[in-house]
Amino acid sequence: MAILLLGIVPVEASASTSQLTCAPAILGFGAIVVGQTETLPVTLTYNGEASATISGVTAGNSEFTTSPLSLPVILLAGQSVEMNVSFTPTAMGWTGGTIKFVSSAGNDILPLEVRGTGVSSEDVTASPSTVSFGQVAMGTISTVPVVLTNARSWKINLSALQSTGVGFSIDGPGFPLTLDAGQSVTLNVTFAPQAAGTTTGSFFVYGAGRAIPLSGIGAASGQLTANPAVLAFGSVQVGGTLTLMDSFTNTGGTSVTISQATVTGTAFSITGLSIPLVLNPGASVTFNAEFAPQSTVNATGGILVSSNASNPTLNVSLSGTGTAQGQLTLAPAVLNFGNTTVGTSVSQTSSLTAAGASVTVSSANLISAEFSLTGISFPATIATGQSVPITLTFSPQSTGSASAVLSVVSNASNASSQTMNGVGVSPIQHSVSLSWTDNDSGLAGYNIYRGGVSGGPYAQINSGLAPIDTYSDSSVVSGQTYYYVTTAVDASGVESGYSNEAQAVIPNP
């Protein structure tokens, strides 16, 4: 028997020689001014058999861009395609990245290294490149530091500085001086306005070939005014308080800081002014000034204000007169309401009279469930020599004696009060006794009827037949008038007509 042996011969894999190449392999742009664009060509070549397809291009740094290709691009063996790569630096300094070409060649990703340096268009940079001082008060100086930096990779010699424009000057290290690559020097530019309004100028850096614009506005110094500058409170009763409003305004061209506000005169004070306080040009602050005399005297004082305005001290004059307090009389001093039936009310009138000066009554205290005050609204001002009537009412809730004290709160120099007394008594129970004559002996009884007006209508008030010719009505009310009639009822229940009408007047109480 023959045996057939089959052998497996290993085959070694070989690397593909189908390559995509780029010329140049490294793309260097050198030094490019920030913001400007430099473009260089790049050639892609396919070295292989058949063909290769370029399907994608990516850049890892946004400062490097490629000209658009109509992808996909098919390259036959030995065929090339050109494209452009651009560099637009956004900042000074070296930067780099990698552009990757994706294809079907043996090296499916071909990297292209790109690099470049962003540089300034100037030998020396200035920060800030323009100096604006804004508003500067007349008589003051404003300073802005300016940093000069050597933007080149070699030394630069700066020979001198020069400023133009009235009020501008430069202070810094001595010139000439040398700046190494990347080295900086700080200069102090000052503005001391000589006149109100806008001033322009510049300073030149010799050896750097550049000028830095300068501008500033001379502003009138802050000026503080008071409106009004004099506060006259007039006459105010001792123990009382009068409040007037005042304001401070910055009428100058620069801000003003109020650092202190001092009040002189023991009867005067201010509120609503928070110190320290900054007022911008044209701004105002309003506050309250108070006069509270404690004696009868002509008082004077002032509000002394300290600030950094051109007028550093400002004074507001204060004056006022403390006058004697009025006298308040509450008459009569005692009110006696006598006996008053429980459940009813009785009122009496009193009066409040001012003497010597007007009196303001702010409130009245009367703590009682049986006495009440009406006829006045608080606060009430009573002119000197005038009276205001008030009404006191006694409404007893139970029998027995009751009393209370009315005290009045006012700005008078004296205290005013009134005592009230009364006695609550039980209501009087009235009744009406009725009698009539009837000679009919065969009657079963009588019905009694009552009305509120003469001639009726009447309503029966007995619950059952009255057996005799008398009846007592105890359900009457004090102060009312009643009208009565009766009827006779026989044994068969037949009722007669009304009798003649009788009138009864109930006393009150």
The pLDDT of residue 218 is 86
Model pLDDT for residues 180-195, shown as the tens digit of each residue: 988 999 999 999 998 8
Among 1-5, 298-302, 308-312, where is mean pLDDT lowest? 1-5
CA angle 35–40–43, rounded 5-degree value: 150
How large is the average pLDDT for residues 113-134? 86
d(C-alpha 350, C-alpha 370), whole Å: 17
With the C-alpha atoms ordered 485, 489, 493, 494, is the resulting torsion angle positive or negative? negative
Model pLDDT for residues 357-379, shown as the tens digit of each residue: 889 999 999 999 999 999 999 99
Model pLDDT for residues 1-44, shown as the tens digit of each residue: 333 333 333 333 344 578 999 999 999 988 787 888 999 999 99
Q: Kindly state the percentage of the chain with pLDDT values over 90.
A: 66
The pLDDT of residue 4 is 32
Q: Kindly state the percentage of the chain with pLDDT values over 70.
A: 96
The pLDDT of residue 250 is 93
The pLDDT of residue 158 is 86
468 pLDDT above the threshold of 50: yes
Residue 349 neighbours by CB distance under 10 Å: 11
210 pLDDT above the threshold of 90: no
From residue 276, give the alpha-carbon distance in Å to each of 227, 245, 261, 307, 365: 20, 20, 9, 9, 45
The pLDDT of residue 485 is 96
For residue 46, what are its two tokens?
A: 């396919």
Q: Which residues face 28 on adjacent strands?
A: 115
Single pTM value for the model:
0.43
8-state DSSP, 220: P
Omega before 509 within 30 of 0, i.e. cis: yes
Model pLDDT for residues 79-109, shown as the tens digit of each residue: 999 999 999 999 878 899 999 999 999 999 9
The pLDDT of residue 13 is 35
Q: Which residues face 414 on adjacent strands?
A: none
Strands 481-490 and 502-505 turn out to be: antiparallel
The pLDDT of residue 440 is 78
Model pLDDT for residues 382-428, shown as the tens digit of each residue: 999 999 999 999 999 999 999 999 999 998 889 899 999 999 998 88
d(C-alpha 210, C-alpha 156), whole Å: 13
The pLDDT of residue 5 is 31
The pLDDT of residue 11 is 35
Q: Is 154 exposed, middle or buried (CB count within 10 Å of its CB: 0-12, 13-18, 19+)?
A: exposed
Coil, strand or helix: which one is 271?
Answer: strand
Domains of the chain, CATH where assigned: 19-119 (2.60.40.10), 124-219 (2.60.40.10), 224-323 (2.60.40.10), 327-425 (2.60.40.10), 432-505 (2.60.40.10)
Mean pLDDT of the chain: 89
The pLDDT of residue 159 is 82
For residue 433, what are its two tokens?
A: 């006794």
